[in-house]
Amino acid sequence: MSITLHHVAQARSFRVLWALCELGVDFTVEQHSFFDGSLQGEAFRAKSPASRVPALDLHGRTYFESGAILELLAETFDGGLGRAVGSDHRGAYLEWLHFGETMGQHLANLTQHHIILFEASMRSPTVMRLEAKRLAKCIGAVVGAVGDQAYLLPDGFSMADIAVGYALWIAQRFVDLAEIDGATAYLDRLSARPAFQAALTRDGAAQIYTQDFYPPPPKEAPNA
């Protein structure tokens, strides 16, 4: 079976890269860039209608949307990363799997304002501060759910940890995880997994986040 992941370093396609490494399957990574226009062509748009990564060539067809791909991979390969319909933790599994997208929207707004909108006049300091707070609130909810467990679900690691864990890995660029009890410990457990480390080696050179931290702009003092 031929598997090809269309990927941009640090992008949401990292979720699929990590999942494939967890599953231990053979696959090829085809690297792309957000900045050279190559994703906007008709050939790639046929793979992903929004011209975004990931796109995954699997079983003779191409799939897009990282959350859907994670579910598909969990159902296709016997890696114990999904939760079957009717199982005790199926509901929580689906909730947290898709909560990764909630976190992703805050990350997208922060990335847009800190990095993509490179001129200061185009950025909104208010949005940057609000989105950082909203993201921190989401992280608090995640680590609250983890609690004293190792992972989100009491029966162990799952695709939900990959979806949320990727968001947490990127979130540390915008939120000080040390200020949220349990956040650093959870991310450390995730990033210590051999499959996460293997995914890092195949991620590629940083294209999006070139700073360790992007602080929210300070709130201006009111006029005297």
Cβ neighbours, 10 Å, residue 201 = 8
| Structural domains present in the chain | 4-76 (3.40.30.10), 90-193 (1.20.1050.10)
Residue 223 is predicted with a pLDDT of 61
Q: In what order do the strands lie in the sheet with 4-7?
A: 28-31, 4-7, 55-58, 61-64
Over its length of 224 residues, how does the chain's per-residue pLDDT go in tens digits?
A: 699 999 999 999 999 999 999 999 999 999 999 988 889 999 999 999 999 999 999 989 999 999 999 999 999 999 999 999 999 999 999 999 999 999 999 999 999 999 999 898 999 999 999 999 999 999 999 999 999 999 999 999 999 999 999 999 999 999 999 999 999 999 999 999 999 999 999 999 999 999 999 999 998 766 64
- pLDDT 10s digits, 47-79: 999 999 999 999 899 999 999 999 999 999 999
Q: Which two tokens stand for residue 69?
A: 């791909």
Residue 159 is predicted with a pLDDT of 98
Query: Amino acid letter at 51?
Result: S
Residue 35 is predicted with a pLDDT of 86
Residue 147 is predicted with a pLDDT of 98
User: Alpha-carbon distance 135 to 181, whole Å?
Assistant: 15
Contact at 8 Å (CB) between 52 and 39? yes
User: Alpha-carbon distance 103 to 163, whole Å?
Assistant: 9
Cβ neighbours, 10 Å, residue 4 = 15
Query: Amino acid letter at 32?
Result: H
Residue 37 is predicted with a pLDDT of 87
- Model pTM? 0.96
